Amino acid sequence: MRLKSSIWVAGYLRRCQGEGVFGAVRRRGAEEAGAVYIKLALLDGNAMLFAPAPQTSYDGTRPVERAFVASPPQPVPEQKIEERLAKEINFDPDIWIVEIEDKAGRHFLDLAKT
């Protein structure tokens, strides 16, 4: 059974704050099962986006609560991330957007192996 998105986001933000990283919910999505996108602002005008991993990333050998992939895999100007998020909202208005800020690029996510 998968945790509700709202509970997962609350736990994720608590983890970030426990490590001294600021994080906030920018957009509340569907309480039960909204997709979660994590924007990592590097505080230099660049950012990274961590999107839900595709279903093919789940190999079934170990239970995974949520998996993410960096999309794109390197930092890009924040405006590009904002444009991508706007497209995702148009496609699925139930998404969550969580933004964290860390110059060192720490995100505390276990990334899917693709």
- Would you list the domain boundaries of the chain? 5-101
The per-residue pLDDT for 67 is: 86
Q: What is the pTM of this model?
A: 0.87
User: Tens place of pLDDT for every residue, the chain, 114 residues?
Assistant: 678 999 999 999 999 999 999 999 999 999 888 999 999 999 999 999 999 988 655 555 554 568 899 999 999 999 999 999 999 999 999 999 999 999 999 999 975 443
The per-residue pLDDT for 54 is: 81
Query: Cα–Cα distance between 1 and 12 in angstroms, integer?
Result: 18
Q: Does CATH place domain 5-101 in 1.10.1060.10?
A: no
Q: How far is CA 104 from CA 19, 25, 35, 73, 82, in A?
A: 12, 20, 25, 16, 20
- Give residues with Cβ within 8 angstroms of 68, minimum separation 6: 38, 50, 51, 52, 53, 109, 110, 111, 112
Enter the tokens of residue 67: 């998996």
